[in-house]
Amino acid sequence: MSNNVAATETTEDQRSAINSSHATKDLIQGGKPEAIEYADRSHEPVPHFHAKTFLILFAVMAVYFAQLVHLVGTGAYARAITSTVGGSQDAVWMASIAVIVTVVASPPVSQAADYWGRRWFMIITTFCGVVGSVIIARAMSIGTALAGAVITSLSFGAQPLLHAVASEVITHRNRAAAQAVINAANGLGGITGILMGAAFTQDGNPDGFRNYWYVTAGIYALATIILVVCYTPPLRETQLRYTFREKLRHLDWIGYVLLALGLVLFVMGLSWAENPYSWKDAHVLGPLLAGAVISILFILYEWRFKSDGMIHHRLFSRDRNFAIALGCIFCEGLVFFAVNAFMAYEVSVLYDSDTMRVALHFSVTLFVYSLCVIGPAIYCYKTRRVRVLAMSGFACFLTGNICMATLGLGSAKAAWGYPVFFGAGLAICITVLLTAAQLSAPPELIAITSGLMISVRSLGGAVGLAIYTAAFNSKLSETAGKKIANAVLPLGLPSSSLSLLILDILTGNIGGLPDIPGISPQIIQAGVLAFQQAFAESIRAVWITAACFTAAALVGEFLCTSD
């Protein structure tokens, strides 16, 4: 980093520290006027942008781009993986692993980076993406694929550092623009992933997922090289102040363990509900209850016994804005991961089996997101207001969820338009909430701030995925068999062939249907249509659930931020 850039950072932190008593009020909460107030704008430094500043921003964008390619692949193409290596009941874990690892790894990486520096944490975790992607590409079993997903997902542990670095290399005033820049890379990575995956897996070639993750490994490798060359920050004060043992003692080891155990057990219990165990089975109740108890212990520990842990108490010392931002980002995670995991799946079952057209449906969300992400940044920069934007973002999410819940077999055209609402909501919420959180927290805790925000967002995604999967599987197992039986038995299908027909339809083995004894084209058509009707009813539970979460966030934000 150039000396001028470093000087800009130091001056900025000094200015922020001087003004710490003048909390950035009305950031989310209402006020008169509803704006971010600076105590003395004359001290705000003029930005000194140099070539290396832009190279650092480009490095951050490259890492985020690679992460989104992997994340989209695990959500949209997990079923392509399981159709090749087996283990279809574990498809949801491909996406869940990424969000779980993000929740568990982000806080310790963010804290440790303050003591040991951010450079090597970002480089090593990004290189894990290279190794894990190659493992997924070469997997011959679901266990190997999941192991590769775990290693690749370690790259998400540095995601909070990306937001922190992007904000630190430019001035306080331009942080919304910095978040918009990396979020644009977020959208481009998602678009690239969904279209690339469609190209590799179309024409009934699920084995094409291997090429997808080979390319992903290459993108991660490029991002790693860019970080090694471009990101060379000066030593931080905390790197020099403490000894190695003192740094270890400052980390929140108990909190890390409680968070990991509680989240993994809770998500495991929810994921096994009706897939394949009933809600009353010990496989579901045991992990679910144990995870809930450990999570409560984690909250109590962070609240009463650890004031400087991953949930640093000083983050909440100024006003309620940071707490509100955390609640909002949790709900945003709930909504986004519903879209990431279920939108393309719904389109492929109900409307179009062509992989590329399915990908284009989903990419509408990401195109809109990429185009709209700069708007909120400009609005925040000029007006210093975020309350109206945050509420409008959740209003877009709510509209999208309600619209998706109305989809039926005859709604193919409408399915092209509804993703626009999700793209607009995502563009608004991500930029606004991260900016609000960073401006509400003490400047020296910006990495922990970003880490907690990203972690809570992923927590919402992990919990949401488990809840959505349980609701969907429960409804589908209740209705699909009955509807298929009522449709095909009157047409002459032998009752002895019914279970085989249902199994093939539910697992997507359409090519094996003609081999079922007593089958006919008319019976196949009736059975598939009945399944689609049951599927449409079942996946509606996902969007209704997501709408309830979004409505709660919107109402809660309105009540908390009223004038």
Q: Tell me how long the chain is.
A: 563
The verdict on 234 and 361 lying in the same domain is yes
CA nearest neighbour of 340 among 227, 221, 460, 436: 460
The verdict on 316 and 447 lying in the same domain is yes
* HSE value, Cβ hemisphere, 13 Å, CA-based, for 219: 26
Has residue 173 been placed in a domain? Answer: yes
Has residue 25 been placed in a domain? Answer: no
- The mean pLDDT value for 465-485 works out to 86
Has residue 180 been placed in a domain? Answer: yes
Average pLDDT, the chain: 79
The verdict on 113 and 177 lying in the same domain is yes
> According to the model, what pLDDT value does residue 418 have?
92
Residue 351 predicted with pLDDT over 80: yes
Q: What is the pLDDT of residues 283-336, one digit of tens each?
A: 888 988 998 899 899 889 988 888 877 787 888 877 677 888 888 888 888 888
> According to the model, what pLDDT value does residue 27 have?
37
> According to the model, what pLDDT value does residue 171 have?
62
The verdict on 150 and 211 lying in the same domain is yes
The verdict on 143 and 75 lying in the same domain is yes
Q: Which residues contact 114 (CB under 8 A, 6 or more apart)?
A: 236, 238, 447, 448
Q: What is the pLDDT of residues 155-177, one digit of tens each?
A: 988 887 887 777 666 666 666 66
Question: For residues 400 and 409, what is the distance between their CA atoms, to the nearest angstrom?
Answer: 18
> According to the model, what pLDDT value does residue 47 have?
44
Preceding omega of 33 cis (within 30 degrees of 0): yes
> According to the model, what pLDDT value does residue 164 have?
74
> According to the model, what pLDDT value does residue 496 have?
86
Has residue 279 been placed in a domain? Answer: no
Q: Quote the Cα angle for 297-301-306, to 5°.
A: 165
> Strand, coil or helix: what is 315?
helix
Q: What is the pLDDT of residues 391-445, one digit of tens each?
A: 888 999 999 999 999 998 888 888 899 999 998 998 888 778 877 787 777 777 7
The verdict on 338 and 355 lying in the same domain is yes
Question: For residues 93 and 462, what is the distance between their CA atoms, to the nearest angstrom?
Answer: 10
At 252, which helix (H) or strand (E)?
none
Q: Provide the CATH number for the domain around residue 232.
A: 1.20.1250.20
Has residue 149 been placed in a domain? Answer: yes
Percent of the chain with pLDDT over 90: 17
SS3 annotation, 65-124: HHHHHHHHHHHHCHHHHHHHHCCHHHHHHHHHHHHHHHHHHHHHHHHHHHHHCCHHHHHH
The verdict on 343 and 371 lying in the same domain is yes
The verdict on 457 and 341 lying in the same domain is yes
Note whether 98 and 70 are within 8 A (CB).
yes
The verdict on 438 and 506 lying in the same domain is no
> According to the model, what pLDDT value does residue 93 have?
79
The verdict on 205 and 343 lying in the same domain is yes
Q: What is the CA radius of gyration of the chain?
A: 24
The verdict on 248 and 337 lying in the same domain is yes
Has residue 139 been placed in a domain? Answer: yes
Residue 42 predicted with pLDDT over 50: no
Host domain of residue 153: 6-19+45-252+306-476+542-560
pTM: 0.71
> According to the model, what pLDDT value does residue 40 have?
38
- The mean pLDDT value for 356-377 works out to 81
Note whether 397 and 550 are within 8 A (CB).
yes
Categorise residue 213: left if φ over 0, alpha if ψ from -120 to 50, beta otherwise: alpha
Place of tokens 């977020």: 186
- Band of residue 49 on the pLDDT scale cut at 50, 70, 90: low
Q: What is the pLDDT of residues 83-119, one digit of tens each?
A: 888 877 777 778 778 878 887 888 888 888 888 888 8
State the amino acid at position 17 in one-letter form: A
What domain count does the chain have? 2
> According to the model, what pLDDT value does residue 560 have?
56
φ, ψ dihedrals at 233, nearest 5°: -75, 155
Has residue 124 been placed in a domain? Answer: yes
Angle between helices 119-137 and 51-76 (to 10 degrees): 30
Token pair belonging to 244 = 């190695």
The verdict on 231 and 314 lying in the same domain is yes
Angle between helices 498-506 and 521-560 (to 10 degrees): 50
